[in-house]
Structure 1
Amino acid sequence: MVGGDRHLALVAALNKPSLPWRVPFSASLPEVLAQRGRNVVVLCSGDPFWHGAGAVLADHLPPQEWSALPAPSTFSWAAAKLGWRLEDVVPLGLHARPIATLRPHLRDGAQLLVLLRDGAAVADVAAYLTTSGFGASDIVVLEALGGPHERIRRTTASNYAYADVAAPVALGIVAVAEPGATIIPCTSGLPDDLFQHDGQLTKREVRAVTLSTLAPRGHELLWDIGAGSGSIGIEWLLAARSNRAIGIEARPDRLATARANAEALGVPHFDLRLGQAPDALTALPPPDAVFIGGGASRPGVMETVWQSLPAGGRLVVNAVTLETEALLIDWHGRHGGELLRLAVERASPVGGLTGWRAAMPVVQWSVRK
């Protein structure tokens, strides 16, 4: 019998061999799969295929080797207690994910149902909401739903003071943004001031065009080469929760900045790596799309990327130097695609009047292999 400590305690009287799982559950996967050929029962709360262990196991076992007996999920129990429409709720499982995963979903009136590991995590979420400018948010602490020890308590994030919350626990959140709180837009081309940077940032207007051209679809992997502040990879991940991104950056200080940006904008799973193309690309899983924001003119970079890109994969390269621009013109001549020149001018003071101040133009080559 495989389960959490709480699950195994409930069936201790059966006196069967047991295997407690670790957090995250995937850490226990090799031990569980080693039991193949035996009669194995994996104990899960509610629906094992909604933020549960069922999907993890099913990914590694053929259908004939397992069967599932789902029960109402914690999300279903919570919605029934709160009177919330499940189709309008953002359901999140934060048993083993960073709390920052909440960030993209925080906007006025949003309803979130969050599964948490323990009572301490509830306090952490309340603190995160408060420091993020959502301290006025209503939160409902839902403990042991459907059981004899069920308890439901209501407060706000900034007033949270419960010290006796016990697992199993979920949290209902109605987000309330305080004046000045930052709300992450749903569109690409986030404001530049949402990112920390040292000037190495794909500016908002160019970033919007770049994301549109990369065309994230979900369940796709992006290589972000020359990640800089991480803005392209971050917006790729914000476009679809199922997307993945690997960012390559040669400078440790910029890598640290990109990681801080990913955390602040709610995509801490952005896989950022210190290295330089093309050497840093050799062991990566094949991408669905590649963005090169820096380093395209280094020997071997374009060739390695082109060889790694599968048929149908998308490549977008931005250039601000004449040398890289000449390189892109050459590749465009050989492989086709689209070549754009993006020029942005902003109104700014000129003495006592106003004039246009031009940013450096960006040449962009995009192609589908």
Structure 2
Amino acid sequence: MQSDRPGDSTTPGEQPWLTIVGIGEDGWDGLTAPARRAIESADIIFGGARHLSHVPAVGKAARVTWPSPMAPAVQEILTEHRRQRRIAVLASGDPMLYGVGVTLTRELGMGEYRVIPQISAFSLACARMGWAAAEVTLISLVNRPIEQLNRYLCPGQRVVIYSEDGATPRAIARLLTDSGYGSSMLYVFENLGGSTENHREAIACSWSIERCGDLNLIALLCAGNANARPLSLVPGLPEEVFETEGQLTKREVRAATLARLAPLPGEQLWDVGAGSGTIGIEWMRTHPSCSCIAFEVHDERARRIMMNAKRLGTPALRVIVGTAPATFDGLQSPDAIFIGGGLTSESMFEECWARLKSGGRLVANAVTVGSEATLATRQKVFGGELVRILVARAEPIGNDLGWKPMMPITQWTVVKP
């Protein structure tokens, strides 16, 4: 049967030329018979030095240790060796769980490869802790910023963390303590699943080990101190959690704006005229696979956006400094666009509309009379919905409270055909 996957040009009955074998710290002894046969029959075996050391001298395969970075070797496999050699790739545990298997199979047809997974370090950690795996969050800090952990901090949260190296546990303990979660428990497993497996544990604020073994995994049980401030993933965070110099969308308007932008997993937002970065940050907090490019003309604001993004667990947010729409060149089309500034510029809107994917959402908020008139004019041409948002907050008046209205916001939402 022909597969409809991108890049699949296989024919019925074709044998896989690539086998990706998961291997644990128990090495060769822990492999299944099919995994051993795939390695023994390979022409070339690729793997990390640690993985290759687990495999005895079997067959006649050449052995290639992954270079750093790995990209050239991955490209070699997918071009020079594709369908020309029998290739075996060794990977840690489950190759499709933050592993090289994801990279290798992305553009291959299903008939070209076979994946033989081993039990993952994540599953082993959950088993050691007695945690239900379906209720545990997994994140990887391998070649990824540590600040992403901030998105998951709340009392009672259980997290398994793939470490970058031996210094990661101490860095996490410091981050937790600084964030008001110093009472959290850290359980560090070194060489998990192997004969030299070791376990360390301590409260984050009292962690004293400078460096653990480089091959380690962390199980984290979050506990907040009195100064901890858990933050919901539902849009509309309090203004005070953002550093700002005034360019900030108020929380009520922000929540309404995100509802109209309607983020879905894997989608990308362009935040044009990002100010403090609030819209893009909250977009990315809705799901870890959501991404955002923030466009900001001022260097200081761009710096502030990244500071907010790191503090709120979205360090992968990308900021482009410069004048839009000139800064749009070379970028892939986004799924949604929020225009927070430059509404009266005809070229700005035209470029945003041209770049937006078909079916994408564009949301623009107007405060001034001039920008409101611009939205009304464009709504007549492009359709969509116009909404006026009126918010008043109760504030003290003498010994009582009175309503203080915020500036009204006119919001236009339109979907590109």
Shorter-chain TM-score category? over 0.9
Amino acid at match of 1:138: M
1:174 aligned onto 2:221: yes
Q: What is residue 216 of structure 1 aligned with on the other side?
A: 263
How is 1:14-29 mapped onto 2 (pairs within 5 angstroms)? 16-22=62-68, 29=74
CA distance in 2, matches of 1:133, 1:275: 36
Q: What is residue 357 of structure 1 aligned with on the other side?
A: 404
CA distance in 2, matches of 1:152, 1:229: 42
Q: 2:191 aligns with which of 126, 130, 144?
A: 144
1:268 aligned onto 2:312: no
CA distance in 2, matches of 1:26, 1:288: 28
Amino acid at match of 1:5: A
TM-score by length of 2: 0.84
Q: What is residue 204 of structure 2 aligned with on the other side?
A: 157
Q: What is residue 299 of structure 1 aligned with on the other side?
A: 346
Cα 1:178–1:28 change in 2 (3 A) is farther
Deviations 1:112-156 (A, max 9, x none): 111112211111111111111111101111111221101112211
1:237 aligned onto 2:284: yes
Check whether the contact 1:292–1:317 (CA below 8 A) recurs between aligned residues.
yes
TM-score by length of 1: 0.94
1:87 aligned onto 2:134: yes
CA distance in 2, matches of 1:312, 1:115: 37
SS at match of 2:86: coil
Cα 1:76–1:298 change in 2 (3 A) is same
1:5 aligned onto 2:52: no
Identity of aligned residues (%): 39
CA distance in 2, matches of 1:252, 1:318: 23
Q: CA RMSD in A?
A: 1.8
CA distance in 1, matches of 2:57, 2:369: 75
Large movers: runs of 4+ above 6 Å: none
Cα 1:99–1:26 change in 2 (3 A) is farther
Check whether the contact 1:26–1:56 (CA below 8 A) recurs between aligned residues.
no
SS at match of 2:179: helix
Amino acid at match of 2:209: Y
Pick which of 187-196 and 279-288 moved more.
279-288
CA distance in 2, matches of 1:216, 1:149: 45
Check whether the contact 1:237–1:245 (CA below 8 A) recurs between aligned residues.
yes
Amino acid at match of 1:8: L
CA distance in 2, matches of 1:242, 1:363: 30
Unmatched runs of 5 consecutive residues or more in structure 2: 1-44
Give the CA deviation at 1:362. 1.2
SS at match of 1:123: helix
Give the CA deviation at 1:292. 0.4
Amino acid at match of 1:251: H
Amino acid at match of 1:302: F
Give the CA deviation at 1:104. 1.3
Amino acid at match of 2:179: S
Q: What is residue 30 of structure 1 aligned with on the other side?
A: 75
Q: What is residue 334 of structure 2 aligned with on the other side?
A: 287
Pick which of 303-312 and 266-275 moved more.
303-312
1:43 aligned onto 2:72: no
Check whether the contact 2:167–2:211 (CA below 8 A) recurs between aligned residues.
no
How is 1:311-326 mapped onto 2 (pairs within 5 angstroms)? 311-326=358-373
Q: What is residue 346 of structure 1 aligned with on the other side?
A: 393
Unmatched runs of 5 consecutive residues or more in structure 1: none
Check whether the contact 1:226–1:248 (CA below 8 A) recurs between aligned residues.
yes
Give the CA deviation at 1:333. 0.8
SS at match of 1:87: helix
Give the CA deviation at 1:316. 0.2
1:104 aligned onto 2:151: yes
CA distance in 2, matches of 1:27, 1:221: 28
Give the CA deviation at 1:13. 4.8
Q: What is residue 113 of structure 1 aligned with on the other side?
A: 160
Check whether the contact 1:107–1:183 (CA below 8 A) recurs between aligned residues.
yes
Check whether the contact 1:138–1:156 (CA below 8 A) recurs between aligned residues.
yes
Number of residue pairs matched? 368
SS at match of 2:151: helix
Give the CA deviation at 1:11. 3.8
Deviations 1:241-286 (A, max 9, x none): 1111111111111111001100110011111111222211232211
Pick which of 164-173 and 210-219 moved more.
164-173
SS at match of 1:233: helix
Check whether the contact 1:94–1:114 (CA below 8 A) recurs between aligned residues.
yes
